[in-house]
Amino acid sequence: MAAHISIAGFFVPRCRTGHRARALASQGIAAPKKEGEEEKVKLGGSDLKVTKLGIGAWAWGDTTYWNDLQWNDRKLKDAKGAFDASIDSGITFFDTAEVYGAGFSGAINSETLIGRFIKERKISDLNEIAIATKFAALPWRLGRQSVVSALKGSLSRLGLSSVDLYQLHWPGIWGNEGYIDGLGDAVEQGLVKAVGVSNYSEKRLRDAHSQLKKRGIPLAVNQVNYSLIYRLPEENGVKATCDELGVSLIAYSPIAQGILSGKYTAANPPTGPRGRIYTPEFLTKLEPLIARIKEIGLSYSKTPTQVVLNWLLCQENVLPIPGAKNAEQAREFAGALGWRLSDDEVAELRSIASRTKPVIGFPVEKL
Ligand SMILES: NC(=O)c1ccc[n+]([C@@H]2O[C@H](COP(=O)([O-])OP(=O)(O)OC[C@H]3O[C@@H](n4cnc5c(N)ncnc54)[C@H](OP(=O)(O)O)[C@@H]3O)[C@@H](O)[C@H]2O)c1
């Protein structure tokens, strides 16, 4: 796929040539400062620059979907390890939400945890990290003022005076225009550097973009479910519209909630709520794809997780935010950067993946 150059120790994807590009080390190019470090990218038309891959923090403190529905000190230590290891590996963009880890017994709010981790690490220059969080468009929240008010709650939990990116977590059932106005207000009040949406269809994306544009504010991102085995954004016009409008596509669940790491099989399916989505039957159908991902990974000395994250990076204008529960997982993500699959491999993986019907996504994508 891409020929690459290294500028000041950074890996810079340059142009598609059709030839396989190897990891920098094997090309004898000067090693970057950290494994696979790549230049930061601007989010959409905003001035906010973030690492080409972020870390998702949904699982931190959560007892509704992750962590076998229980939170404890060991998991807390692991989450802190993931935060620190990400930064040590050069990944400094974190994605959370006000609803992650909220409300259920034993849960700790993910924003609160991130606030703690930032303090404990004694980060002297907060510009070195970028925090994204999200507004929950709950049906009883009406109007633009609800956005700024919820954002202030998030800032208080995070212990920050502003966040880098604020996103509407899903479209509102009503009052959506008010929410978009609220995003604009948050920018004008200096509470956020950039704003975005999540789970927005092509039409809603266009509407949000044009409403903000009237105030001279760029819609920076649309965060949607996108992975090798969940390619709805390629089919429903969302990816093409992001590219057309200059909106960055943030890919959530980029390793299909751990399934594409290859560690789950029909004989060893995931436990908890994930097990109801990724059934042994589904995992059996996925076997040829996982086998090919592993083979390709071996040829680059990369793990399956690194291959599937790289597949997303190859789509251009896509920024994956895999969730890491511990330091080891976070470190592995860094190895997805600094190299690219070839065009042929990207196409072959898409073709094998298309033989398996995707699982059902978050219904709000269709609102
Ligand atoms: N906007 C939205 O509506 C929305 C929805 C979903 C997610 N998100 C965001 O996207 C982020 C990522 O999505 P996600 O957490 O759903 O899914 P994901 O990133 O595809 O998968 C994360 C899970 O995969 C497993 N894993 C991670 N690294 C691994 C590795 N190196 N090897 C093997 N397994 C590994 C871990 O679970 P196990 O170790 O337990 O297998 C981890 O919790 C979230 O944290 C959140 O910030 C947003």
Alpha carbons 277 and 309: distance in angstroms, whole number: 21
pLDDT of residue 32: 43
List phi, psi (to 5°) of 22. Answer: -95, 165
Q: Is 100 a catalytic residue?
A: yes
Q: What is the mean pLDDT of residues 303-317?
A: 98
Instruction: Specify the residue for token string 């606030």.
Output: 115
Question: What are the DSSP calls for 101-142, one per residue?
Answer: T-SSTT---HHHHHHHHHHHHT-S-GGGSEEEEEE---TT--
Binding site membership of 305 for ligand 1 (Cβ less than 6 Å)? yes
| Closest atom, ligand 1, to C-alpha of 255 | 20
pLDDT of residue 200: 97
Binding site membership of 58 for ligand 1 (Cβ less than 6 Å)? yes
CA 59 to ligand 1 center in whole angstroms: 7
List phi, psi (to 5°) of 192. Answer: -145, 155
Chain mean pLDDT for the chain: 91
Model confidence, pTM: 0.93
Q: What is the mean pLDDT of residues 293-306?
A: 98
CA 6 to ligand 1 center in whole angstroms: 30
* pLDDT greater than 90 at residue 224: yes
Distance of CA 187 to the CA centre of its chain: 22
| Nearest residue (CA) to ligand 1, atom 33 | 261
What fold is seen in the domain 2-358? TIM Barrel (3.20.20)
* pLDDT greater than 80 at residue 12: no
Q: What is the mean pLDDT of residues 343-362?
A: 94
SS3 at position 296: helix
pLDDT of residue 13: 60
pLDDT of residue 37: 81
Mutate-to-test residue for ligand 1 from 201, 232, 329, 365, highest number of ligand atoms within 8 A of CB: 329
* pLDDT greater than 90 at residue 27: no
| Closest atom, ligand 1, to C-alpha of 67 | 40
Is residue 252 within 8 A of residue 100, CB to CB? The reply is no
CA 56 to ligand 1 center in whole angstroms: 7
Binding site membership of 322 for ligand 1 (Cβ less than 6 Å)? yes
| Closest atom, ligand 1, to C-alpha of 364 | 3
| Nearest residue (CA) to ligand 1, atom 16 | 253
Please report which helix (H) or strand (E) contains residue 312, including its range.
helix 304-313
Q: Amino acid letter at 228?
A: L
Binding site membership of 262 for ligand 1 (Cβ less than 6 Å)? no
pLDDT of residue 7: 46
pLDDT of residue 323: 98
| Closest atom, ligand 1, to C-alpha of 223 | 1
pLDDT of residue 35: 65
pLDDT of residue 124: 83
* pLDDT greater than 60 at residue 20: no
* pLDDT greater than 70 at residue 21: no
pLDDT of residue 102: 76
Q: What is the mean pLDDT of residues 325-336?
A: 98
* pLDDT greater than 60 at residue 116: yes
Instruction: Specify the residue for token string 């589904």.
Output: 282
Is residue 281 within 8 A of residue 15, CB to CB? The reply is no
Binding site membership of 245 for ligand 1 (Cβ less than 6 Å)? no
| Nearest residue (CA) to ligand 1, atom 25 | 258
pLDDT band, very low/low/confident/very high, at 30 (cuts 50, 70, 90): very low
User: Which member of 65, 100, 278, 300 is catalytic?
Assistant: 100
pLDDT of residue 364: 84
pLDDT band, very low/low/confident/very high, at 226 (cuts 50, 70, 90): very high
Q: Left if phi > 0, otherwise alpha if psi is -120 to 50, otherwise beta: which for 325?
A: alpha
For helices 144-158 and 176-188, give the axis angle rounded to 10 degrees: 50
pLDDT of residue 14: 40
Mutate-to-test residue for ligand 1 from 53, 55, 58, highest number of ligand atoms within 8 A of CB: 58
pLDDT of residue 10: 56
* pLDDT greater than 70 at residue 162: yes
Q: Higher pLDDT residue, 262 or 26?
A: 262
* pLDDT greater than 90 at residue 205: yes
Q: Amino acid letter at 11?
A: F
Hey, what are 84's tokens? 């620190």
| Closest atom, ligand 1, to C-alpha of 256 | 20
Binding site membership of 325 for ligand 1 (Cβ less than 6 Å)? yes
List phi, psi (to 5°) of 3. Answer: -85, 150
Q: What is the mean pLDDT of residues 251-275?
A: 97
Q: What is the mean pLDDT of residues 307-321?
A: 98
pLDDT of residue 108: 94
Q: What is the mean pLDDT of residues 299-308?
A: 98
Binding site membership of 201 for ligand 1 (Cβ less than 6 Å)? no
Scanning 176-316, the segments in alpha helix (DSSP H) are 176-188, 202-213, 232-235, 238-245, 273-277, 280-285, 287-300, 304-313
E-only strand ranges, 199-337: 219-225, 248-252, 318-320
Ranges 1-10, 106-115, 328-337, 341-350: which has the least confidence: 1-10
Binding site membership of 179 for ligand 1 (Cβ less than 6 Å)? no
| Nearest residue (CA) to ligand 1, atom 21 | 257
Ranges 59-73, 277-291, 333-347: which has the least confidence: 59-73
CA 93 to ligand 1 center in whole angstroms: 15
In angstroms, the Cα distances linking 149 to 145, 221, 364 are 6, 21, 23
pLDDT band, very low/low/confident/very high, at 3 (cuts 50, 70, 90): very low
* pLDDT greater than 60 at residue 168: yes
Burial class of residue 321 in the structure, from the number of CB atoms within 10 Å of its CB (0-12 exposed, 13-18 middle, 19+ buried): buried
Binding site membership of 256 for ligand 1 (Cβ less than 6 Å)? yes
Binding site membership of 40 for ligand 1 (Cβ less than 6 Å)? no
Q: What is the mean pLDDT of residues 345-358?
A: 96
Alpha carbons 186 and 181: distance in angstroms, whole number: 9
Q: What is the mean pLDDT of residues 318-327?
A: 98
SS3 at position 46: coil
Other residues' Cβ atoms within 10 Å of the Cβ of residue 180: 27
